[in-house]
Structure 1
Amino acid sequence: MAGFGWFWDAMGGKTGRNQKRSKQVVAQSAKLHQSIAGLSDEELSQQGRALCADGSINDAPKLLAVLAEASKRTLGYTPFEVQSQAVLRLLEGDVIQMDTGEGKTLVGAMAATGFALMGKTVHCVTVNEYLARRDAAWMSPLVEFFGFTVAHIEESMDAPQRREAYRASIVYAPVTELGFDVLRDQLITSRDQAVQHGADIALVDEADSVLVDEALVPLVLAGNEPGAAPAGRITQVVAKLRPEQDFSIDGDQRNAFLSETGARRVEQMLGIDSLYSDEHVGHTLVQVNLALHARAMLTRDVHYIVRDGKVALIDTAKGRVAELQRWPDGVQAAVEAKEGLAVTEGGRILDTITLQALMGRYPRVCGMTGTAVEATDQLRQFYDLRVSVIPRNRENQRIDYPDRIYATAEEKFDAIVEDIASLHRVGRPVLVGTHDVSESEQLAARLAELGIAANVLNAKNDEEEARIIAEAGDIGRVTVSTQMAGRGTDIRLGGADERDRDAVVELGGLAVIGTALHRSKRLDQQLRGRAGRQGDPGSSVFYVSLDDDVVQVGGAGESVTAHPDADGLIEDKRVYDFIQHCQRVTEGQLLEIHSQTWKYNKLLADQRVIIDERRASLLDTEAGLDALREHNAQRVEELEQRYGHALMVQAARELLLYFLDMGWSDHLAHMDDVRESIHLRAIARETPIDEFHRIAVREFKQLAQSALHRAQETFDTVEIDASGVHLEDAGLARPSATWTYMVSDNPLSGGGNSVLRGIGAIFR
């Protein structure tokens, strides 16, 4: 990229002056290392603290030298100069791009320690709990060398364990767990119930995945409530409907619709006059649409798996089971009924936050990834973050072959199998990246027929991922994986212990095969980056068919003339250019979706801040009791004399918080309904986003006052005794259990794809 520094500076990437200065600082640091090496452990630790005594870095070269020497002593790793350069860029608040295998884990730990030396608390944000657990254990000696504490968060932890973990100076945690802890803390009725209190710094691993790809995903906390599951014969009736004749699927492959013929068949089989009558439109039709969505749009081993008699959702961005997540609004129950499983109850939306809003809660965000440059626009637009490209320690030796294009998916599949078999015959290790569980299992089954044993890494066995990935570079290994992004384990040639490294190098290194292009080129690059680690040899190639999703979506309404050979292979530059065009179109669609979604979410995020402030006032002051005293001073005085001031403060707090929280829940549900139909406003020549904002502002103005009035009215009659306020006896119980929704969010889908429902047009 030499000679193009002006371009990357203009785009937000830092390869110009700042990078030159960083290299100068690192060079100075290397010269200081020898003098630092003679210090005792205590002297080295004290010097690190002294260099950041006033909350900022007083001497950057010396601090890098101290961190490098501490890493050498505690972990046995002396960082490369490019790693120290990356540490400096993180400490200055950038997102750094480092190729796979270049040592991001050490870089992150050194930067986190640097922030801790400045007196900052740090959340090291990961994409899954395996990485949080691994990195916290792996890097803890470095952190603890300077007298700081390190901990990690995982899904199985209870509230006391989480509370203790969040007290650490540096906390490694999956982004979803951080988000759900924030949401759960929004339900507390006393400060001692909170598990976390934020942090000064969010240091994000796989930053483009968390900040861009997953930024649209709302984390939704729900409370148990009876749901509208398809009942009686409805699931069986819908199972008999004929595709195309009785129902159709829209062009975006997001929604299923009954035809007139289908509606008549359902009515006949259920023995009712009309699905659309007043008697059935609000109940039976809803259940039929839920069952139809479960049948037509949600596929086993693609969108979910069945494990231990339960439906487990698959996070399609990572190819893993999404723990403790469920679909909303009866969809979960519909899928359970479809699979013949016990149907669980529904839920009430209690609160929601997008990952983008979650990251906005941190005073400072920085991050690292292997593919940041392609996300420069999004990182700059939505987070005001700049990208610094860190050079490799050793030159890249990987060969990236042009895409191999086939006419049909079947011909492409045959070619992939043949390619794997050919590589396997000479003993070269192969890593195959697929897009879903079903595809990975079909490929493994086909290879098994040829006598080739493949290690399959998908949502069904993600707990084995570290072992499977670590051995993927061994002689003769064939590894088939869904979504390699964020897997987080290096593939070493010759196996985890590199015992056969020389033999694998001689064979050409790891061969990476992608079974289809992703909608974002960054995800392709993440898969490619699994080969060629630290200057290793390797290769990558992607297979594409004209049937593939990226071609069908990106090339909608367009066509290209192809002349395949006898095996279906297309070698035509015009077709290759068309495929690249399709991918650029889908990338543009994703950016537009992000931009539009941000506009919808920003106002609700701002309103959430106001709710946070009101909750804080109720939790930390006697504002609740003052409000009740204004309404009914006599009863407050009587109860205070009988049960004491402290009990009344807490009773008032719980009463007002209940109605504030339920009011916010109702507001979210109402705005969800508005957003579901807001695209219709365009028909009346109104701007949907402006109308959404107008309604949101109007409705929110009523929320706090309404909550206050309802709390005051309830206070007149609710029972309060020595044990506190009895909300449950008044039918005002908080949910006894909470769980989370897994939601897709796309405001651009014409049928509606709501922030909370995640499915469109199902209640029409």
Structure 2
Amino acid sequence: MTQKQASLLTRSRRLLRRLVDRPASVDLTRYEALLPAVGAREPDLRELTDAGLTDAAAALRGSDDARPTPTDEQLVEICAIGREAGRRALGERAFDVQLLGVMGLLTGRVIQMATGEGKTLAGAIAAAGHALRGRHVHVISVNDYLARRDARWMRPVLDLFGVSVDWVEPGHGRTERARAYGCEVTYGSVSEIGFDLLRDRLATSTADVVQRAPDVAVVDEADSVLVDEARIPLVMAGSVASGAPDTEAARIVSRLRPGLHYETDADGRNAWLTPAGSSVVEKTLGGIDLYSDSGTRRLAAINVALHAHVLLTRDVDYLVRDDKVQLINTSRGRVAELQRWPDGLQTAVEAKEGVPPSDQGEILDSVTVQGMLARYPTVSGMTGTAVAVAETLREFYKLEIAVIPPNESNIRVDAADRVFATQADKFRAVVAEVQRIHAGGRPVLIGTQDVAESEELAGKLARAGLDCVVLNARNDAEEAEIIAEAGTKGAITVSTQMAGRGTDIKLGGSHGTTEDYEQVVELGGLYVIGTARYRSSRLDDQLRGRAGRQGDPGGSIFFASLNDEVVLAGAPDVPGDPPTDDNGEVTSPAISRHIDHAQRVTEAANLEIHRNTWRYTRLIERQRDDLLGYREEVLRGERAVELLRSRCPQRFAELDAVVDETERARICREILLFHLDELWSQHLAVLADVRESIHLRALGRETPIDEFHRAAIPEFHAIYPEAERLAEATFSEITVDEGGADLAGAGVRRPTSTWTYVVHDNPFDSDAEQALKKVRGTLRKRRG
């Protein structure tokens, strides 16, 4: 066999292995072929001064190459300079696999790199590479802490590239934000960048706009941002008043009994009054008829209060902290800052818990995370678990993934699941396992499902004489510091789900010595215990991935029970009567396959909900883009002046006589923008009402999405002529004197204050519920 034939055979085998093991990933051959050239540049670059290295990077600027991705020669130079910059600035010489990640990011891929393999440095080098080619880059993180940390950490590297960098966070004012977005690379959390987008969309002067046009997004923890949070709407509201808590409804439903006065569906997603419950409520309210026209409002209040009381659980779905209800992000197990439920549900939960009501307001604009990211011409990302969502990324973002091999082989030992008949049996076994592992001093990290479970387990461990640190949504501000010490000898850390994502767990502790590290290595490294399978195998893998970083030893095991949420939601009908031993552990090997099946059902259902939701929001995003094009013409051009000059020539002349050209343009612009924004806000409210009731049209054999389009499109097309008509009427009535024009007197009043929040996934969304049940029913039929 010739050398050429052998090389071809080897490549064919690698391609076949990739298709079998990672069917959705791209071939890395092109990138790997460039690594020798990167290595060849290293000696020359090491001889340069810092200024010389910056000059070498500057040579990449000024290219008139209009291609969206770099050439091979540019990839080589960016990676070579990045490796040297990392070595000088951080003492970290990028491994070849990190450079493969850089190339993947620069060519618009989502790269999968294992925990501890250096995604942060790879992301910074890629951001610098884009910036050198004249692009403006947003590095988007899952939270403000990581955005601030990474911007500060990577700044010395970007300085050597000659690339400017800054970050945005909630405490920054408009001037600081404008400066940060004016840099070539801007770090920020997905919510903060999204909120700035919404603020810019409501600006009435170009001086108030802080962001540039979207260009390149490099998304950290891409699976969390692009998938878990994709459907979440970011909202800008004009605060008008506090919602009045319906304490009477909360008091009434707290006295109702399940099964007698109300029932819930099997999925725990809806609750309703029985005839007996309706009778009790009607008598308590003084004998009214809830189902008459006059009783509709009270029935709605009772239903929302019932949902809050029955379906939302304290310390699972939300916390009460500092006299406020704070939602828990289900995908990360931590407090969801600024998130709230819509449609009165937030106020109902506040009434249930007896805390002051939060502000209510008119929604001025909103955007989903997916809609926000769709605005960027170039999107790439990095995560440790991309393969599991490869099809989702391809379907919704047209993104391919590149699986980067680890620098050191993963030697973590993943044990088979242990399954128990009941949760009580399972937790006894978990405590016994922690006792066994801890006896030798090996550090243990335990991943739980929610806050309540984490604290319950911590109590059980304490009664067994085991001291632990609890990391959950109650103390998420200390998250990075707590999780960094989880690898210390003898440490027991109890956490909710996505513990310290973005923070390395170093064996021996973050400040441990080499001796500390070697002691923990001899004990087998970090031992990860999952107290239940999550609703997605990806979340399981993320928890496992906390151990075994960069070739370190480690181990993981998951405990499960037949009463776990994922089993009850995905496949509650356990086949037969599985045998158990004296400790309640199920001995049948088939039961693990059943739990795998339940998890796949849940994953499929959530994907269908995502797909169904996007069908509706996609139209809204298109309408918003169209409206923004019109709004930009008004904001930056003469459209408002030309409109009002032609329609109201006499009043225009009166205004022209008392104000200068700049003030005249401002007045015309503010009038037209005011009505345009008001009509868009009203349009969103109409679409919300249509969306809420659209599922009822399915009863008439109509397709809900088609009916939604029929309702939404004519409403939208009426906005422009109506905004111009209202602007003409306002301009005609406006008072003009030596002081100028009285806008407020003509009704042009913006909200006295605005505020931003994130709408939590509505657990009672009818479409989502219907999609979930449909998928489950289909999969159960296939299984049968």
Q: TM-score range by the shorter chain?
A: over 0.9
8 Å CA contact retained: 1:655, 1:727: no
Specify the SS of the correspondent of 1:563.
Answer: coil
In 1, Cα distance between equivalents of 2:359 and 2:353:
16
Matches within 5 A, 1:733-744: 733-744=750-761
Say whether residues 1:493 and 2:512 are aligned partners.
no
Matches within 5 A, 1:574-593: 574-593=590-609
In 2, Cα distance between equivalents of 1:34 and 1:424:
48
In 2, Cα distance between equivalents of 1:436 and 1:723:
59
Q: 1:176 aligns with which of 176, 180, 191?
A: 191
Say whether residues 1:701 and 2:717 are aligned partners.
yes
**Residue aligning to 1:47:** 56
**Residue aligning to 2:112:** 97
Q: Which amino acid aligns with 1:400?
A: D
In 1, Cα distance between equivalents of 2:162 and 2:39:
25
8 Å CA contact retained: 1:679, 1:750: no
Specify the SS of the correspondent of 2:169.
Answer: coil
Matches within 5 A, 1:11-410: 11-14=23-26, 16=27, 19-54=28-63, 56-57=70-71, 58-226=73-241, 229-282=244-297, 284-410=298-424
**Residue aligning to 1:594:** 610
Note the C-alpha offset of 1:448: 1.5
Specify the SS of the correspondent of 2:218.
Answer: strand
**Residue aligning to 2:16:** 4
Aligned pair in 2 of structure 1 residues 556, 218: CA closer, same or farther (>3 Å)? farther
8 Å CA contact retained: 1:230, 1:287: no
In 2, Cα distance between equivalents of 1:383 and 1:733:
36
How much is the aligned-residue C-alpha RMSD, in angstroms? 2.1
Cα shift readout 1:44-93 (whole Å, capped 9, x = no counterpart): 21112213541544443233212111111111110111111111111111
Q: 1:666 aligns with which of 674, 677, 682?
A: 682
Note the C-alpha offset of 1:723: 5.9
In 2, Cα distance between equivalents of 1:644 and 1:297:
60
Q: 1:439 aligns with which of 453, 465, 471?
A: 453
Note the C-alpha offset of 1:406: 1.0
In 2, Cα distance between equivalents of 1:328 and 1:536:
46
Note the C-alpha offset of 1:228: 5.3
8 Å CA contact retained: 2:110, 2:386: yes
Specify the SS of the correspondent of 2:182.
Answer: coil
Cα shift readout 1:567-590 (whole Å, capped 9, x = no counterpart): 211121221111111111111112
In 1, Cα distance between equivalents of 2:169 and 2:766:
32
8 Å CA contact retained: 1:328, 1:346: no
8 Å CA contact retained: 1:325, 1:739: no
Note the C-alpha offset of 1:450: 1.9
In 2, Cα distance between equivalents of 1:547 and 1:6:
37
**Residue aligning to 1:760:** none
Note the C-alpha offset of 1:117: 1.4
Cα shift readout 1:110-166 (whole Å, capped 9, x = no counterpart): 111111111211111100111001101111001011222211111222222222221
Aligned length: 749
Structure 1: runs of 5+ lacking an equivalent: 754-764
Note the C-alpha offset of 1:724: 4.8
Larger displacement relative to structure 2 (468-477 or 260-269): 260-269
In 1, Cα distance between equivalents of 2:766 and 2:51:
56
**Residue aligning to 2:472:** 458
Specify the SS of the correspondent of 2:691.
Answer: helix
8 Å CA contact retained: 1:328, 1:741: no
Structure 2: runs of 5+ lacking an equivalent: 1-12, 773-784
Q: Which amino acid aligns with 1:383?
A: Y
Larger displacement relative to structure 2 (32-41 or 78-87): 32-41
8 Å CA contact retained: 1:219, 1:743: no
8 Å CA contact retained: 1:718, 1:730: no
Aligned pair in 2 of structure 1 residues 106, 252: CA closer, same or farther (>3 Å)? same
8 Å CA contact retained: 2:447, 2:530: yes
In 2, Cα distance between equivalents of 1:730 and 1:42:
58
In 1, Cα distance between equivalents of 2:754 and 2:399:
38
In 2, Cα distance between equivalents of 1:643 and 1:457:
61
8 Å CA contact retained: 2:613, 2:768: no
Larger displacement relative to structure 2 (542-551 or 590-599): 590-599
Aligned pair in 2 of structure 1 residues 728, 599: CA closer, same or farther (>3 Å)? farther
Cα shift readout 1:432-463 (whole Å, capped 9, x = no counterpart): 11121111111111111222221111111111
In 2, Cα distance between equivalents of 1:42 and 1:304:
52
Q: Which amino acid aligns with 1:263?
A: S
In 2, Cα distance between equivalents of 1:72 and 1:543:
42
**Residue aligning to 1:417:** 431
Specify the SS of the correspondent of 2:539.
Answer: helix
Cα shift readout 1:620-647 (whole Å, capped 9, x = no counterpart): 1121122222332111110221223322
Q: 2:586 aligns with which of 547, 567, 570?
A: 570
Aligned pair in 2 of structure 1 residues 751, 303: CA closer, same or farther (>3 Å)? same
Note the C-alpha offset of 1:291: 1.8
Note the C-alpha offset of 1:381: 1.3
Cα shift readout 1:250-273 (whole Å, capped 9, x = no counterpart): 222222212221122122222242
Cα shift readout 1:268-299 (whole Å, capped 9, x = no counterpart): 222242222333312x2222222222211222
Q: 1:530 aligns with which of 535, 546, 567?
A: 546
Cα shift readout 1:481-513 (whole Å, capped 9, x = no counterpart): 112266210000011123211111111110101
Aligned pair in 2 of structure 1 residues 95, 326: CA closer, same or farther (>3 Å)? same
In 2, Cα distance between equivalents of 1:277 and 1:747:
23
Note the C-alpha offset of 1:735: 4.9
